[in-house]
Structure 1
Amino acid sequence: MGPVVPDPVGTPPSTAKLVNLPNALTTLRVAVVPLFAYLLLVDDGTDERQRYWATLVFALAIITDRYDGMIARRTNQVTEFGKMADPIADKALTGTALIGLSMLGLLPWWVTVAIIARELWVTALRLWVIRHGVIASSRGGKLKTVAQALAIGLYLLPLTGVLASARWWVMAVALVLTLATGVDYVYRALTLRRTSARAMQAATERRATGQAGSRTDTAA
């Protein structure tokens, strides 16, 4: 379980410039999604050369995901745009890959639906708690990301034989981690909403208002 980092009330907004390298990498990851989709689906996925190119584009995009956040934190270039756009870019890339693989009949649709539903749910939770703070990635979440990327990469490649069979087990591991970390994220989001500085301040104000109301009634 990863740490929950509340956002103290009154914390000044980030002064990082919107146009910076981390945000450029995030934007690039979104921009290559249509190209990736074309390479994957051209000729109904029968062109092996295009499948290899699709795998390469996917791998490079995943690498930018690894480094844009790291660069932003290390160089103090974290922006509100980056916080919101980064997970959206990830979901767009992995969602396109999963849907494309299911359209080609390479991956069962129920796997694609389960993973995408979890990712959309977690994105909604991020929006729900964004005013209260940031939930740092857990070890399970990081493993989930690696497992998903590896499993998708194996499905993108035109593999046959034992390797084609083995990739299902990699996807099974990714699916289990995806669902388990989704449950963990719900717990941590609820905890953050309950224990953040904003929530504590609101509770204090409600108690103060209630006590003031009680004194007024007594005086009356």
Structure 2
Amino acid sequence: MALRRCHRLCNVMGIAKYVFLTCVSLITCGVIVGGILAYLIILPYYREARFEQTSCVYLGEEMKRIIDCESKCAKDRSSYPCYMVRVNISGVPEQGVLFENFLTYLEQDKTNCSSAPCLPEAVENVEMTRRYIKTLRRRRNFTCYFRGPDSRQKNSVLLTKIYTKEQAKHCAIWPAFAVSIGAIVLIGTHYCAGCTVWTQDKTVIA
């Protein structure tokens, strides 16, 4: 009796169609957003998590060269000074190469640039790099994140981490929650209304 009443309500009032479309949209958005967040945050978080906290001692920097910013849209391409910063790592006999964060590590792994600011004006990049090096010199001893020798046999060290466990957790939970709710309501609506909802108002086009 209850199922028959539900079936009549869904079909007569046209609720089922809107519920179907809403659920499909919710599932689709959940999958798309989840995929984007997995690529932008979740996967980088797990890669960054390999770097474990330790302590470092600043040894010095070496000016390598001036590097152009990779902005193909701007008429006047900016540039920044590339400094390789060497540090001593607690409990490790070899010296390490310091990177400002994980993104800098990914982008500058081959050039060993510790920091890579890319503001529109080159003079701003020079000033930012100068302040960055000055801060390292002043601190000398600081917390860092060390992974160990990579494929290039280089001890890569991060000054700071970008991604947190909470960020990765929320990026995984909310898209999965949206997909789950959409799927549950979609299955319930299909059980209630069936497929007949789509055949009631078919129009034959001659």
Report the TM-score range of the alignment, normalised by the length of the smaller protein: under 0.3
Bigger share in strand? 2
Provide TM-score, normalisation by structure 1: 0.25
Q: TM-score, normalised by structure 2?
A: 0.27
